[in-house]
Structure 1
Amino acid sequence: MSLPIHLQNYLNDLSIQKPKELSLNFVASLQNNHQAQYSFNNLAVVLGETISLNTLEISKKIVTNGLGGYCFEHNKLTYDLLQTLGYSVHLKLARVLNNQDKQVARTHRITLMDFANKTYLIDTGFGAYSPNAPVLLQENIDQAIGSEIYRIIKMVNTKTSVVEYDLQIIKDNQFYTLYRFDLAHYNEADCDAGHFFSHKYPEAGFVNNLVISLKNNNQVIAIKNQYFLTRVNKEEKATLISDSPTLHSLLTHNFSLTIDKAITDHLFDRFIKGKINNEKETPYKKSAS
């Protein structure tokens, strides 16, 4: 069976062959290559652009035009490819916690995949902390993925008996909760609601921060507002973005984004200029996703 042209283009662009048989190795290669090539970013959000969740439009934006995107785009593209290839995949939504116990909406799209009588978490859209290989849905085991250590823990609400799961990563030598998900059924309409909140609600994180990242097995590069962040084999470094030309060079060279200098000036003035002298907290202690 041949793939639709937009999904075949996706594979071709990542230099991955359509698998002759389904395997975890293929999914891991897809995740790693995807995150190394297509930036996680919220540029379309902060620039007030229309963000379509139609797979053809996502493929055009991410694959053809190389503009990257955020979770509802990245994980929709990956989900549709895996489903078309014959993998047993299920759409889920998660609450982004960033190691805080707080009430938040389900604004992160992920995929659960059943394979060989086991279930795995697949995520190509969580930026700097996104796992770039399948995470086994098994409780309380450390899972080495690239240079990161992940684990999944079960959370049971004692009042309602609702079961949820936390995806955690080792950060600063201890486990840090990234997000919480459950096994309920979700559909594309649920994604539309989370997507609308994420890019239109005035107080949403992606509306008020500049976030960009690329990741492979050993290295992460990211921008979080006024800082350029790098993580190589767990060694972290933050460099202040001092002016608009520096930001433009990072966007065009490090992240391979085509962007006008006038837009870069706007981004610098809006997200960086006023914060350069006010940041007191080491930035990588915050989420870069």
Structure 2
Amino acid sequence: MASSSQTYNPEQLERYLERIGYADSASKTNRTRLHHVMESINQDRLATLTELQRRHLGSIPWGSSALHYSQHRSISVHPRSVFEKLVVRRLDGYCMENTNLFYGVLRSLGYDVYPTGGRVSHALDGGNQTPGSELYMGLGHMILIVTVDSQRYMVDVGFGNFGPTSPLPLKEDGLIAVCMAPAEMRLVKDTPIEFTDRSQKLWVYQVRQNPESNWIPQYSFSEVEFLPQDFAVLNYSTSHHPTSWFVRALVCTRVILDEEGAEPIGIYILSGKEVKRRLRGETEVVETFDKEDDRAKALAKWFDMHFLEYEIDGVKGLVSEIK
């Protein structure tokens, strides 16, 4: 049985829904956001799941700030800690925070959901990008499997750039869906080149930047359920190992939604000494900075993330510090 700590109470759910801008009109009536979402779930579970996923992506940034802008330089995946950081403090989090939060929310709303672990492809850091011949990093990603009307879907709110923006059905027909136009996404089933047993297959999440581009593998995963203690182990490695990308770089992304908050149309990306905005496939640099103080201001401006002075001081002496 899953731990009761993986759920949130009605007050917390209401605060989460406010955080992601769900049913903002409800605040002008006597109906709560929670009442609104439960009614919507009863009418169309999949459509509501899609809206929650997209509003989460458009409101809660993905990033690694806690490993740089803090005195403790660590990540907690405890559900209460994650809620405090992402909802109350309105900061960012990487996969085992963002997706962990979403997992608790979906369970609390009555969805049939469980988490599993994935391996990110080396194609993302310059490795072989050819599907079927890519290599993978060790387990270090968190994905959700949600069942709606007897169909299983992969749901993810913690991958950052080119992460999935809607539930993808676990079907081997290679269904192509819009990720963030013109980029497209799909799931295929394949055997990693490193597997000795060629009869074993994993789901592979792939993205292409436009219909004329090649498919690039992003990560692979199975349908085996992972437990909280499994993610505690994965999180420790991801947040402490000296070769971890998250340890070496302060990164942050946030999806841009259309005016109705329904469709993902772009993304903000903070990396290095600049903030980029990709909007409908076109990328531009919207801000550059050469001082640590200016990066902190950029995080406030583009991601609505506000840090205390002593938290920003935590980056001093790290390889990620802007000098």
Confirm or deny that 1:201 pairs with 2:252.
no
Structure 1 residues 181 and 104 mapped into 2: Cα distance closer, same or farther (>3 Å)? same
Larger deviation: 264-273 or 109-118? 264-273
Stretches of structure 2 lacking an aligned partner (at least 5 in a row)? 1-7, 23-35, 128-133, 257-263
User: What residue identity is the alignment partner of 2:11?
Assistant: I
What fraction of aligned residue pairs are identical, expressed as a percent?
A: 21
C-alpha distance after superposition, 1:127-168 (max 9, x if no partner): 122222212222322111442310111112574121101101
User: What residue identity is the alignment partner of 2:227?
Assistant: N
Confirm or deny that 1:179 pairs with 2:219.
yes
C-alpha distance after superposition, 1:42-92 (max 9, x if no partner): 011234434222212211111111012111111111111111222111211
SS of residue in 2 equivalent to 1:251: helix
- 4+ residue segments displaced more than 6 Å: none
Structure 1 residues 240 and 268 mapped into 2: Cα distance closer, same or farther (>3 Å)? farther
Residue of structure 2 in register with 1:80 after alignment: 104
Rounded to whole Å, the distance in 2 between the matches of 1:25 and 1:103 is: 32
SS of residue in 2 equivalent to 1:8: helix
User: What residue identity is the alignment partner of 1:11?
Assistant: L
- Give the alignment partner of residue 153 of structure 1, picking from 188, 203, 218: 188
Larger deviation: 57-66 or 163-172? 163-172
Residue of structure 2 in register with 1:113 after alignment: 146
TM-score where L is the length of structure 2: 0.77
TM-superposed deviation, 1:114: 1.1
Q: Work out the number of aligned pairs and report it.
A: 273
Residue of structure 2 in register with 1:167 after alignment: 205
SS of residue in 1 equivalent to 2:268: strand
- Give the alignment partner of residue 14 of structure 2, picking from 8, 13, 18: 8
Verify the 8 A CA contact 2:62 2:93 in the aligned structure 1: yes
Larger deviation: 245-254 or 113-122? 245-254
Structure 1 residues 222 and 115 mapped into 2: Cα distance closer, same or farther (>3 Å)? same
Rounded to whole Å, the distance in 2 between the matches of 1:220 and 1:189 is: 32
Rounded to whole Å, the distance in 1 between the matches of 2:307 and 2:110 is: 37
Rounded to whole Å, the distance in 1 between the matches of 2:48 and 2:15 is: 16
Verify the 8 A CA contact 1:169 1:175 in the aligned structure 2: yes
TM-score where L is the length of structure 1: 0.85
Structure 1 residues 202 and 144 mapped into 2: Cα distance closer, same or farther (>3 Å)? same
TM-superposed deviation, 1:93: 0.4
Residue of structure 2 in register with 1:251 after alignment: 299
C-alpha distance after superposition, 1:91-129 (max 9, x if no partner): 110001152433421101110111122111111111122
- Give the alignment partner of residue 171 of structure 2, picking from 138, 148, 166: 138
Stretches of structure 1 lacking an aligned partner (at least 5 in a row)? 275-289
Larger deviation: 158-167 or 180-189? 158-167
- Give the alignment partner of residue 235 of structure 1, picking from 282, 304, 314: 282
Residue of structure 1 in register with 2:260 after alignment: none
TM-superposed deviation, 1:228: 1.9
